[in-house]
Structure 1
């Protein structure tokens, strides 16, 4: 294969990162108008089944393609690459068909375990997407392994755009035709296989344009057997995919426990569904927070593996600690800012202030999830896959063991607290493992300074709110909330940055890693 220049590789990585960022923003933002159209109960119906889609999407979009691209890059000859992906396709197709049949056959027991048998057709609707996952994962992984990110990026954007369009059109039509929420949910979830068809068409065009004869390669001998490939896919590919879908896995536990817990508490079914719909508002908020917090750090992480491979361990430690500190600082500012502005944000996005306390607790997940994602990437660059799996298992175990009990005891806010505690257990375990590698990022009173700055910022934002309320007294609730939130963001950013610079939260070298830092640092210094 012709060797690709580093410039081409970096351009491809940037293209894929931008496409991924746009797709994540689309995936978070569409839920706001969707919830506004279908209400709390309609949102509950959709979000109950969403984790099944989310896990499947993560495997087909990021987790498995990343693993497959690594295997493709390990092989030199074009023939071996094609033989490899043909065998991987057969393995993955077997898993996917089995999962499709399982979801079709056991949709009713799954829905009943969630506490709502009426969800059965929605589970069957989303299951069709798994039939397209093998081709999407294999084709994306192959092109990424060839350092050609364009097909993956385009298919990713097409998939999300089609899915979001279908969902919003269904929501509007369901509202105008007065469909019941389960019929709406079934059609909304059909957006997953429909979007997968369009994404597959994009990848099929790319395969044909490059004249790849995959079927002819199946009978060729290859170094790895089916068993060996399946084992690597399960361990390495599974690790990458599971961590990429960490928050979705926690949401899956919520789907099986929150609704049931509220009903055990004694709430009528309709009220329990509405409360679960309010609880689910936290997911797009966290998703948006994670996009902001991880977009910068993810651009620095690929250099860690390269630095380590060159034998520059001290430089690796310095870079890793820098990424952790910057990411946690940004995530904390985003999380605490959301908490301070939760009444205004809730009205702006969802039309009322239902669940303010519950959502305020839930968005603390932004800080811990960001730290976990960064630590996971660092540990994977050190090839410590089993450590990351153990950390994920700890978090899931905490969530599974205590979630329903917490909902019965404290209401839906209990599930928010258990999510935070589960992530805290996961983060604590991974941090402990990294300290053994001399990667203790939080030194010199960093966490104490960050806590102090965040509390002062929160106080300043809340002090500024009466000014906004006075200025917008005659405005509509949503327009007033928009102005108040904008004012709060401005005050919060100014206070956070001024205090962070005053207290030397980050070093000058770390500040300069941020985009356009030399320009706005001069302004703040004045």
Structure 2
């Protein structure tokens, strides 16, 4: 029974990983034609307000659903489970409506703080998606709590697809109708609401066919129960939401400080907007680098909670170790690969190598965020929410305090360094407070040592490919060829050495998508060479 549940859970992790990968690919790919159509300044306008959308959708699609899934997994009685979901819906409805009203009223002040009052209509437009938060969060949390990841996966891809279509249509119309970059940005931001609306329809339809969300009975309103649940949502659910939106929160700080810092550093308004647009190129690359690790983090939280609740200490240790090893290993490979390929990737996606050094520094955030989220998932499964929240707030405060000064003196590279430093603070605080299960999973002497050596060889292999394909920066086609060859070599070297030196255990390989096939292939190769 336990093995069957674990297999079902791993299947759900694979489904959600594939959906997340598709969504992140869409999120990264649309930025190429979008940036080419609207330029760096148009990209800056969109990216200035994007963190508000990112925070809202992270709360609705990742943060609150993970916590709600934890509550659902802990609740055995179906009637009490439905009652819990109804109360959660009411509380999130109040929260989402409050954020909507706040953004509508305070949009001019927020835009002025960003040093660009023309952003006001974009902020007002993106606020509408917060009205969909209770529908998205409660239904996704319900399905994930029952380890049914398919509705979540379908809604995630649909939301991203609709949003991308709206954004690209807005960019195309801005060229045809000669819109300003701000009018274009406003209509591009409407994709957040329309995408969320489609995802809501898919989830509600799935909920109607797979379960019975009965209407609440006419009973006395239990204010005490609402108050207790609200407290848990704020303290525990809020902590998960903050960590799920960690990178977007850091980008929000950038929205308020990077352009200001560039202007204070001596750049003109237009050049500062252009440079901020170049800096924002790093976001889709970081998203792609994090896709697998974050998918596993969000999917394995219910199983960690169940193992702890049932006092299955050995299973808890195994799942926690697999989560940390896979998150750290795959994110490290993605980080080193992107750093090695950065000139080619930058040229292929955006047509030049502007801001290359800043983007290289920014890629270091991939491995740090992956490890932070993995450790945080373990700690939250142990109900240690206070410690992780303090660590995150500490890192954000560091980013707020140093970012504008760094940008003023070191341009956009300063913003990248500020992000890495703030993430380092968060990680250090979390590891300092982590229990033995996390420290044992890291296994500095065995796992970290092997991973570092494998990544070093991989980086050298990728650089050899770049050296053998020197024409890769002469055109986008050549850059694509160099990038593709580098990716293939990097995957081959990392996968081969990870198998040969047993970086991951057999259980961990079986957890990963395609891991079983790699183990079979490795066994065949060893059999032929012996």
Q: Which residue among 456, 475, 483 is the counterpart of 1:477? A: 475
Aligned length: 519
Cα separation, partners in 2 of 1:8 and 1:449, compared to 1, 3 Å:
closer
How far residue 88 of structure 1 moved from its aligned partner, in angstroms, is 2.8
Aligned to 2:19: 19
Alignment of 1:221-260 (within 5 A): 225-260=225-260
| Cα deviation 1:491-519 (Å, max 9, x = unaligned) | 33344455556666556665565512323
Q: Secondary structure at the match of 1:353?
A: coil
Aligned to 2:460: 459
Aligned to 1:50: 50
Question: Are the equivalent residues in 1 in contact too, given 2:70–2:301 (CA < 8 A)?
Answer: no
Unaligned ranges ≥5, structure 1: none
Q: Secondary structure at the match of 1:444?
A: helix
How far residue 380 of structure 1 moved from its aligned partner, in angstroms, is 1.5
Cα separation, partners in 2 of 1:142 and 1:378, compared to 1, 3 Å:
closer
Cα separation, partners in 2 of 1:283 and 1:435, compared to 1, 3 Å:
same
Q: Secondary structure at the match of 2:445?
A: coil
Question: Are the equivalent residues in 1 in contact too, given 2:395–2:425 (CA < 8 A)?
Answer: yes
Cα distance in 1 for partners of 2:89, 2:300 equals 32
Unaligned ranges ≥5, structure 2: none
| Cα deviation 1:135-154 (Å, max 9, x = unaligned) | 32233334445565554443
| Cα deviation 1:65-89 (Å, max 9, x = unaligned) | 2333444455555554444333333
How far residue 200 of structure 1 moved from its aligned partner, in angstroms, is 2.7
Alignment of 1:66-77 (within 5 A): 66-72=66-72, 74-75=74-75
Cα distance in 2 for partners of 1:507, 1:342 equals 31
Cα distance in 2 for partners of 1:210, 1:302 equals 20
Question: Are the equivalent residues in 2 in contact too, given 1:87–1:218 (CA < 8 A)?
Answer: no
Aligned to 2:261: 261
User: Is 1:291 equivalent to 2:291 in the alignment?
Assistant: yes
Q: Which residue among 470, 478, 484 is the counterpart of 1:486? A: 484
How far residue 108 of structure 1 moved from its aligned partner, in angstroms, is 0.9
Cα separation, partners in 2 of 1:479 and 1:138, compared to 1, 3 Å:
same
Question: Are the equivalent residues in 1 in contact too, given 2:145–2:302 (CA < 8 A)?
Answer: no
How far residue 261 of structure 1 moved from its aligned partner, in angstroms, is 0.6
| Worse-superposed segment, 296-305 or 377-386 | 296-305
Question: Are the equivalent residues in 1 in contact too, given 2:12–2:299 (CA < 8 A)?
Answer: no
| Cα deviation 1:186-231 (Å, max 9, x = unaligned) | 0000111122222233344345557956554364565952211211
Aligned to 1:192: 192
Aligned to 1:367: 367
| Cα deviation 1:36-88 (Å, max 9, x = unaligned) | 22211111111111110111111111222233344445555555444433333
Aligned to 1:160: 160
Question: Are the equivalent residues in 2 in contact too, given 1:468–1:487 (CA < 8 A)?
Answer: no
Cα separation, partners in 2 of 1:108 and 1:491, compared to 1, 3 Å:
same
Cα separation, partners in 2 of 1:482 and 1:381, compared to 1, 3 Å:
same
| Cα deviation 1:264-323 (Å, max 9, x = unaligned) | 111101100111111000000000011144456766665544444444435543553343
Q: CA RMSD in A?
A: 3.0
Cα separation, partners in 2 of 1:67 and 1:41, compared to 1, 3 Å:
same
Cα separation, partners in 2 of 1:210 and 1:321, compared to 1, 3 Å:
closer
| Worse-superposed segment, 118-127 or 329-338 | 329-338
TM-score, normalised on structure 1? 0.89
Cα distance in 1 for partners of 2:296, 2:194 equals 32
Cα separation, partners in 2 of 1:263 and 1:149, compared to 1, 3 Å:
same
Cα distance in 2 for partners of 1:364, 1:69 equals 31
User: Is 1:519 equivalent to 2:517 in the alignment?
Assistant: no
Cα separation, partners in 2 of 1:94 and 1:255, compared to 1, 3 Å:
same
Cα separation, partners in 2 of 1:103 and 1:485, compared to 1, 3 Å:
same
Q: Secondary structure at the match of 2:469?
A: helix
Q: Secondary structure at the match of 2:439?
A: coil
Cα distance in 2 for partners of 1:32, 1:338 equals 17
| Worse-superposed segment, 497-506 or 19-28 | 497-506
